[in-house]
Amino acid sequence: MADLANPQSDDAPLDTSKRSAAPADAAGRLPEGQGDSFANATVTIGKPVAEVFAHFRDFANLPGFMENVVRIDVLDRQRSHWVVKAPGGGTVEWDARVTDEAENAFIAWTSEEGADVPNSGRVDFRDAGQRGTVVSATILYDPPAGIVGKIVAKMFQREPKIQARRDLTRFKQLLETGEIATPAMNPKQFEEMGL
């Protein structure tokens, strides 16, 4: 049997790795990465990379397609304050800071000291020519025990990968069609159902 602790030898995304060292490798690729669990999701959006990047980089846009994010206050170019839904109608909050970025290429962030749910991650944007832009999100987090663990579970719904995929799907729908698909029969129901 191959030694899965060895450095990666193929080109597959890290979150598909069977090696035990994969989360550490993922954290190592992030400036100020924190968290020992990680999730990844990738989607192709049929719009030019500049448009896709610009929409995402304006963090105030994110609650428009991220289901559990109630509000993001943009404090300055690097810092933002996140308010995220928690069980029982409450919220959890943290400050996030952009640790590195390159226009039309990637954005990396980490949460600041005192975050209810410490996390970090990066979103990569790659020009895919006629097909538009490939967007790949990597999220690292520490799944804490107890009540906060439940909050994390709720925040990411079933599992972080599914939640990230759903959020990126809505991002794609919004940019490609101008709206987010919903079976709601009226605006009030749409609001109640959430995104």
Partner 1 sequence: MKALAWHGKHDVRIDNVPDPEIVNPRDAIIKVTSTAICGSDLHLYDGYIPTMQAGDILGHEFMGEVVEVGSRSTLKKGQRVVVPFTIACGECFHCGKHQYSACPNGLPADNQDIARELYGTEMSGLFGYSHMTGGYAGGQAEYVRVPFSDVGPIVIPDGVEDDKVLFLSDILPTGWQAAEYAQIEPGDTVAVWGCGPVGLFAVQSAFLMGAERVIAIDHYPHRLELAKRFGAETLNFKESATYEALMEMTGGIGPDAVIDAVGLEAHGLFVDNVVDQVKASLFLGTDRPHSIRQAIIACRKGGRVSMPAVYGGFVDKFPLGAFMEKGLTLKTGQTHVQHYLPGLLNAIMEGKIETEFLISHRMPLNDAPKGYKMFHDEQNETTKIVLKPGMVAA
Q: Which residues bind partner 1 (CB under 8 A)?
A: 44, 46, 67, 131-132, 162, 165-167, 169-170, 172-173, 176-187, 189-190, 195
Residue closer to partner 1 by CB (options 6, 186) is: 186
Residue 103 or 159: the one with the smaller Cβ distance to partner 1 is 159
> With respect to partner 1, which residue has the nearer C-beta, 7 or 129?
129
Q: At what angle do helices 160-177 and 49-57 cross, to 10 degrees?
A: 120
Nearer to partner 1, 30 or 164 (CB): 164
Q: Which is nearer to partner 1, 30 or 195 (CB)?
A: 195
Smallest gap from residue 122 Cβ to partner 1 (A): 22
Q: Which is nearer to partner 1, 114 or 187 (CB)?
A: 187
Q: Give the single-character DSSP code of 61.
A: G
Please state, in angstroms and rounded to a whole number, the distance separating the CA atoms of residues 35 and 94.
15
Q: How far is the CB of 187 from partner 1 (least distance, A)?
A: 6
Separation between Cα atoms, residue 128 and residue 37, nearest integer Å:
29
- Report yes or no: 47 and 21 within 8 Å, Cβ to Cβ: no
Residues 6+ apart with CB under 8 A from 159: 39
Half-sphere exposure (Cβ direction) of 77: Cα atoms closer than 13 Å? 2
Query: What's the closest the beta carbon of residue 167 comes to partner 1, in angstroms?
Result: 8
- Cβ 121 vs Cβ 137: under 8 Å: yes
Shortest distance, CB of residue 165 to partner 1, whole angstroms? 8
- In the complex, the smallest distance separating the C-beta of residue 144 from partner 1, rounded to whole angstroms, is 25
CB 80 to partner 1: min, Å: 23
Distance in angstroms (rounded) separating the CA atoms of residues 189 and 71: 20
- Give me the amino acid identity at 118: P
Three-state DSSP class for residue 88: helix
